[in-house]
């Protein structure tokens, strides 16, 4: 990810300090990594300590966890869900499948690199990552939000043509219900 120079005033810094403590994740799990989430939520690892809470609809969520391989059919639903989420929003990609295809390298039905289709904030390597690694990624994300570096979601507004082209290369023409560019102009999300 290229280095970004952002100017933040004091109010933004205070808000970052407060909002980093509350991250709601979309409870939509796609691959085998979903099995690592129940121990992360419950008594042993308890991610609610960091304010990370599972939420059931995309409208309420800030985090989208892609837990493992993504088949083309699922990717379409993921994109629809992602576009329904309200910015700022972050994608956390689990495991090697989302980085380079992993053990599904030869599969005709899965995609290989997730960041061609959606802006990914954090990758967790491993097959599968343990709950410790997931907690580590959450703390890393919290730290990045605090420093004002977690801006990958702006990339989807400013660089939408790139993502749309890649999405249409996989699906052909698809129908999505959100006009991303108009939203970017309306809510003044212009520069990366």
Partner 1 sequence: MNTVLWIVFYPFIAFFIGIMYMGYSRKFNARVERRYGPSWIQPFYDIVKLMTKRTNISHGWMHDISLLMLLGGTLATLMFIPVPGFSYFAGYGDMLVIMYLILVPSLGMALGVGETANPNGSIGISRALMMLAGYDVPFVLSFIGMGMLNHTTSMFDLIQIQQSNGIASWGIVTNPLLGLAALFALQGMLGEKPFEVYVAPHEIATGPMSEMGGKFLGIMFITHAITIFLELTIFINLFLGGAFTWIGLIVKQLIVFTLVLSVNIVFGRYRVDDAMRFMWKIPGSLALLGIILIIFQQLRS
By the criterion CB under 8 A, which residues form the site for partner 1? Answer: 15, 18-19, 21-22, 24, 42-43, 46, 48-49, 51, 55-57, 59-60, 62, 85-88, 183, 187, 189
* Dist. CA 78–CA 98, nearest whole Å: 13
**Which ranges in 46-177 belong to alpha helices (H)?**
72-84, 97-100, 131-147, 152-158, 160-171
Q: Cβ 104 to partner 1, closest distance in Å? A: 30
Q: Cβ 87 to partner 1, closest distance in Å? A: 5
Residues 126 and 106 sit within 8 Å (Cβ to Cβ): no
Q: Cβ 112 to partner 1, closest distance in Å? A: 30
Instruction: Specify the residue, 95 or 121, whose C-beta has the smaller distance to partner 1.
Output: 121
Residues 156 and 180 sit within 8 Å (Cβ to Cβ): yes
Instruction: Specify the residue, 36 or 101, whose C-beta has the smaller distance to partner 1.
Output: 36
Instruction: Specify the residue, 46 or 136, whose C-beta has the smaller distance to partner 1.
Output: 46
Instruction: Specify the residue, 98 or 152, whose C-beta has the smaller distance to partner 1.
Output: 152
State which H helix or E strand residue 65 sits in: strand 63-67
Q: Cβ 27 to partner 1, closest distance in Å? A: 8
Q: Cβ 2 to partner 1, closest distance in Å? A: 21
Instruction: Specify the residue, 59 or 169, whose C-beta has the smaller distance to partner 1.
Output: 59
Residues 40 and 134 sit within 8 Å (Cβ to Cβ): yes
Q: Cβ 24 to partner 1, closest distance in Å? A: 8
Instruction: Specify the residue, 117 or 157, whose C-beta has the smaller distance to partner 1.
Output: 157
For residue 181, what are its two tokens? 């560019």
Task: Give phi and psi for 35, each to the nearest 5.
Answer: -70, -20
User: Which residues, in sequence order, are CB contacts of 172 under 8 Å at separation 6+?
Assistant: none
* Dist. CA 155–CA 82, nearest whole Å: 13
């Amino acid at each position: 990810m290229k280095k970004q120079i952002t100017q933040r005033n004091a109010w933004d810094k205070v808000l970052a300090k407060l909002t980093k403590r509350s991250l709601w994740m979309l409870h939509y799990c796609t691959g085998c990594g979903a099995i690592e989430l129940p121990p992360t939520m419950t008594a042993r690892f308890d991610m609610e300590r960091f304010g990370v809470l599972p939420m059931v609809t995309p409208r309420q969520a800030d985090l989208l966890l892609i837990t493992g391989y993504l088949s083309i059919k699922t990717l379409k639903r993921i994109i629809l869900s992602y576009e329904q989420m309200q910015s700022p929003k972050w994608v956390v990609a689990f495991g090697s499948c989302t980085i380079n295809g992993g053990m599904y390298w030869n599969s005709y039905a899965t995609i290989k690199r997730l960041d061609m289709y959606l802006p990914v904030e954090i990758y967790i390597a491993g097959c599968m990552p343990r709950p410790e690694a997931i907690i580590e990624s959450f703390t890393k994300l919290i730290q990045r939000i605090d420093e004002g570096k977690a801006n990958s979601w702006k990339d989807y507004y400013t660089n939408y043509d790139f993502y749309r082209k890649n999405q249409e290369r996989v699906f052909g023409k698809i129908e999505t219900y959100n006009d991303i560019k108009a939203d970017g102009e309306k809510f003044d999300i212009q520069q990366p």
